[in-house]
Amino acid sequence: MNIIGKRFSPDEFWGYAAQTIGEASWKGSFVVLHNTGSPTLAQRPSGLTSEHITNLRLYYEDLGWHAGPHLFIDQNGIWVFSPLTAPGVHSPSWNHVSYGVEQLGDFDREAYTSGPGALVRANAISALAALHHAACIDSATLKLHRMDPKTTHRDCPGAHCADEFEQIMRDVHAAVVAREQV
């Protein structure tokens, strides 16, 4: 499996996404938001490491997948996992038309608007804004994994994240507008 395996700050990711997606022949039409469930934030108090990312690659390879989600968001930034230039594997109905964004945490049980969950949320907003801007996506098209009629992950991305769905779309839109005015 070909992965990028590199962590970016939100500022770095804005430039990376613009350049990478700008040159890509495939583009996603919308973003699907996930949570890892396991590992939890409590299990990764310092976020993900390169070794964790390698282990995720091995996990997906064992499943026989050719790719995984495009991004993993943690407390520290934005990990690019599968290349943004091709479809990933993360949501059965939507793999071929969407970007998959995983957020570290179990947001059925862990907070999303305070503590480390709030750091993940903020980095996710930045990552989503960069993707929406680079691929010319309207923030109103954002989807949660559990909205996929074919998925068995009926809880993803967790209740505390799902409760924020409308606000996330507003925040992504505001973040895109703020960037475009710079």
| CB nearer Zn ion, residue 10 or residue 37 | 37
Q: How far is the CB of 37 from Zn ion (least distance, A)?
A: 8
Q: How far apart are alpha carbons 63 and 109 in whole angstroms?
A: 26
| CB nearer Zn ion, residue 134 or residue 156 | 156
Q: How far is the CB of 32 from Zn ion (least distance, A)?
A: 7
Q: How far is the CB of 128 from Zn ion (least distance, A)?
A: 15
| CB nearer Zn ion, residue 38 or residue 46 | 38
Q: How far is the CB of 60 from Zn ion (least distance, A)?
A: 13
Q: Are strands 78-80 and 71-73 parallel, antiparallel or unpaired?
A: antiparallel
| CB nearer Zn ion, residue 127 or residue 156 | 156
Which residues make Cβ contacts (< 8 Å) with residue 104, sequence separation at least 6? 35, 36, 39, 41, 44, 47, 48, 72, 73, 74, 75, 120
Q: Which bin fits 73, alpha (ψ -120 to 50), beta or left (φ > 0)? A: beta
Straight-line distance from the first to the last Cα atom of the chain, in angstroms, rounded to the nearest whole number: 37
For Zn ion, the binding residues (CB under 5 A) are 34, 145, 153, 156
